[in-house]
């Protein structure tokens, strides 16, 4: 029998963990890589609970009271869970930060939330944020997870920095659970945003618990499943889907070492479920396309044929297509093509989830055609986060599926998707004006995303109100679809469409280094893009490739110019949000000169 803990049983998020410990004390809970032994290690639920008692004892010594805010700026690891569960059990409100966030942003959020204790991971993090933290009035304590070693960080004026080893007691008693109010504030999650100051989304225990349970009603996750966690826990998608859902059903979580080591970790951990944003699937797909470009024509034909047959089988199984004779070839195609891709993902994946941004139909088709069911969903931090999701038996990749049980959706006069349900946030912290702008008196949350709803209630996201490009001609262009189309060509690693109040569309493009090296050699071009005499030639070649990929779009959406670079847009250089979305305003400011060149004379 499936051991799923209900919302009523759990009551609160720390109550959920407590019941899981009672139900599965010896069951595997978390797997992590220990760099000192260079081995993967496991914790049971019971062992985690013992650690949590020690963390809780340390928090109690700080004289914190229920309702105080504590922040965590830590990569995904068991210690993240220990800290959060210890805090929640004491009625504290957890405020997660991204480890790559800017110091000034961290200082703003610490001050805005009135954080009294901050958990940091590395000395490097401290050197970045120490000066900013000194300006935060209410901050009493900063705990550093890594030992200082020889790189002893400078102390603050307030002498509040301590290492985790010196902060944690060697032993403790029972874990406390002082809060019994499911509707009380559990966490403040600051939306990373692409512009402006972040807003603190207030989510209750009930918000998150109901969202996790509703997800389990439509997407089966079993106690035997193993998830590989690599999206930051500071993002609500990973926190609900990759943390609380496994806890609710007793599944195990393995924490990946890093994104660069993800391929290796997939092979070692061999997860059964993958939770990701589209960027990861895009990277795998780009790698496939690059290898196919070098492969013999027969190999390319065989790959495409396998995808076609596999997707045709999928459509038949979904009840949307007819059974074809070539479906009989699937066992052979699976052995020759599909299983090779699946083995690179660990060989045990039975389903994958994609959220946080739209996944292109082509990429979805390839993975589904090769045997990996990708379930695309839609959500936002303000809805805890999942609103809609496809089901294994009802999967329309171009849509984000039906609403979760208990969640209502409708469209306003601008076709913006409105959401109402137990998962909708309490509001924005210290910002009633922003709350009123997005949340109506009768509980409808305005997503800001333009959508359509079919007769069966299935939702398709067609654009984002604030991201729609309005040309000076008055034509409106949602950039996401065109950007996804351009990225079908493996030469393009990242692209951003430009044209707001301009007479025509242009593109900023980051080229794939490996593909560009081969491409440049073929055309006799400067690999470093430094030859001024070749600028026009390079642009014409790239425009030709872009035009090929975007030929299905209307004439007014034709892209006229392109500027290219080999410098990738990353979280570290602030061009991407921590969830790998384009920071459009930052990119625009960085490439201001290049953009103006694209519109010279107009």
pLDDT digits (tens, 9 = 90+) for 502-556: 888 999 999 999 999 988 988 888 888 888 888 889 999 999 999 999 887 777 7
Q: Enumerate the domain spans of the chain.
A: 12-180+219-256, 274-464, 468-598
Is residue 465 within 8 Å of residue 413, measured between CB atoms? no
Average pLDDT of the chain to the nearest whole number: 90
The model's pLDDT over 220-241, given as tens digits with 9 standing for 90+, comes to 999 999 999 999 999 899 999 9
**Count of Cβ atoms closer than 10 Å to residue 144 Cβ:** 22
CATH code of 274-464, in short, is 3.40.50.12780
Q: Are 510 and 492 in contact (CB under 8 A)?
A: yes
Q: Which of 404, 354, 19, 17 is nearest to 210 (CA)?
A: 404
The alpha carbon of 2 is separated from its chain's Cα centroid by a whole number of angstroms, namely 28
Q: What is the mean pLDDT of residues 570-577?
A: 87
The per-residue pLDDT for 1 is 38
For the chain, first and last CA: distance in Å? 68
Task: Provide CB contacts within 8 A for 72, sequence distance 6+.
Answer: 80, 83, 84, 94, 95, 96, 97, 118, 119, 234
Q: For residue 2, what pLDDT is reported?
A: 64
Cα 562 from chain centre: 29
Q: How far is CA 409 from CA 293, 378, 469, in A?
A: 43, 12, 25
The three-state secondary structure class of 329 is helix
d(C-alpha 375, C-alpha 377), whole Å: 6
pLDDT for res 282: 82
Quick one: pLDDT band at residue 194, thresholds 50, 70, 90?
very low
CATH superfamily of 468-598: ANL, C-terminal domain (3.30.300.30)
402 band by pLDDT with thresholds 50, 70 and 90: very high
Is-contact 229 253, C-beta < 8 A? yes
Phi, psi (degrees; rounded to nearest 5) at 171:
-155, 165
Q: Give residue 154's pLDDT band: very low, low, confident or very high (50, 70, 90).
A: low
Structure tokens at 199: 């807003």
* 351 DSSP 8-state letter: E
pLDDT at 151: 53
Question: What pLDDT shows up at residue 125?
Answer: 65
Q: How many CA atoms lie within 13 A of 98 on its CB side?
A: 25
Give the span between the Cα atoms of 108 and 135, in whole angstroms. 10
Q: Would the CATH topology of 12-180+219-256 be identical to that of 274-464?
A: yes
Highest mean pLDDT (candidates 132-141, 355-364, 503-512): 503-512
Instruction: Return the C-alpha torsion angle 381, 448, 584, 359, nearest 10.
Output: 70
- pTM here is 0.83
Of 159 and 209, the one with more pLDDT: 209
- One-letter-per-residue 3-state SS of 425-443: CCEECCCHHHHHHHECCCC
CA distance 540 to 546: 10
Written out in words, the top-level CATH class of the domain with range 12-180+219-256 is alpha beta
E-assigned strand segments in 110-178: 115-120, 141-144, 161-163
Based on DSSP, count helices (H) and strands (E) in the chain, helices before strands: 22, 26
Q: Summarize the confidence of residues 421-444 as an average pLDDT.
A: 96
Whose structure tokens read 């400011």?
589
β-strand pairing of 39-44 with 559-565: unpaired
């Amino acid at each position: 029998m499936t051991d799923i803990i209900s919302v009523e049983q759990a009551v609160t998020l720390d109550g959920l963990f407590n019941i899981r410990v009672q139900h599965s004390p010896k069951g595997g809970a978390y797997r992590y890589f220990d760099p000192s032994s260079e081995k993967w290690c496991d914790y049971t639920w019971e062992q985690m609970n013992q650690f949590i008692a020690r963390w809780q004892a340390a928090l109690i010594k700080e004289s914190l009271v229920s309702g105080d805010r504590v922040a965590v700026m830590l990569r995904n690891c068991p210690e993240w869970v220990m800290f959060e569960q210890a805090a929640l059990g004491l009625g504290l409100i957890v405020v997660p930060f991204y480890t790559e966030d800017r110091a000034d942003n961290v200082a703003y959020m610490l001050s805005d939330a009135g954080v009294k204790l901050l958990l940091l991971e590395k000395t490097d993090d401290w050197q970045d944020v120490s000066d900013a933290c000194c300006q935060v009035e209410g901050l009493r304590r900063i705990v550093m997870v890594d030992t200082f070693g020889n790189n002893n960080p400078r102390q603050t004026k307030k002498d509040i920095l301590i290492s985790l080893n010196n902060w944690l007691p060697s032993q403790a008693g029972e874990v406390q659970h002082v809060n019994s109010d499911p509707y009380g504030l559990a966490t403040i999650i600051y939306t990373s945003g692409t512009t402006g100051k972040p807003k603190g989304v207030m989510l209750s225990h009930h918000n998150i618990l109901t969202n996790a349970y509703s997800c389990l009603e439509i997407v089966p996750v079993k106690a035997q499943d193993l998830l590989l966690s690599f999206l930051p826990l500071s993002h609500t998608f990973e926190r609900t889907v990759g943390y609380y859902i496994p806890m609710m059903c007793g599944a195990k979580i393995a924490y990946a070492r890093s994104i660069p080591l993800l391929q290796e970790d997939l092979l070692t951990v061999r997860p059964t479920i993958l939770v990701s944003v589209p960027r990861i699937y895009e990277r795998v797909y780009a790698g496939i396309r690059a290898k196919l470009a070098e492969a013999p024509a027969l190999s390319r034909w065989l790959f495409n044929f396998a995808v076609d047959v596999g997707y045709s089988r999928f459509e038949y199984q979904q009840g949307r297509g007819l059974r074809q004779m070539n479906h009989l070839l699937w066992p052979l195609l699976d052995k020759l093509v599909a299983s090779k891709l699946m083995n690179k993902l660990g060989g045990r994946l039975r389903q994958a989830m994609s959220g946080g941004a739209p996944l292109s139909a082509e990429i979805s088709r390839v993975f589904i055609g090769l045997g990996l069911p990708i379930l695309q969903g839609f959500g936002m931090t303000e809805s805890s986060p999942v609103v809609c999701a496809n089901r294994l038996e009802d999967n329309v990749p171009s849509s984000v599926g039906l609403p979760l049980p208990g969640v209502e959706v409708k469209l306003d006069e601008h076709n913006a998707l409105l959401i109402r349900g137990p998962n909708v946030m309490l509001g924005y912290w210290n910002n009633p004006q922003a709350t009123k702008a997005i949340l109506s008196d009768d509980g409808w949350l305005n997503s800001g995303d333009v959508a359509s709803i079919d007769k069966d209630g299935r939702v398709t996201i067609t654009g984002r109100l604030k991201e729609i490009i309005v040309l000076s001609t008055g034509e409106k262009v949602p950039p996401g679809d065109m950007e996804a189309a351009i990225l079908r060509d493996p030469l393009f690693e990242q692209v951003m469409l430009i044209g707001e109040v301009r007479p025509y569309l242009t593109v900023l493009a980051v080229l794939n280094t490996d593909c560009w090296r081969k491409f440049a050699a073929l055309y006799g071009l400067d690999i470093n893009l430094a030859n001024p005499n070749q600028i026009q030639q390079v642009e014409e070649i790239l425009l030709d490739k872009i035009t090929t990929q975007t030929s299905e779009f209307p004439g007014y959406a034709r892209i006229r110019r392109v500027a290219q670079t080999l410098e990738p847009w990353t979280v570290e250089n602030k061009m991407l949000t921590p969830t790998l979305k384009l920071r459009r305003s930052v990119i625009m400011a960085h490439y201001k000169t290049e953009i103006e060149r694209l519109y010279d004379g107009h």
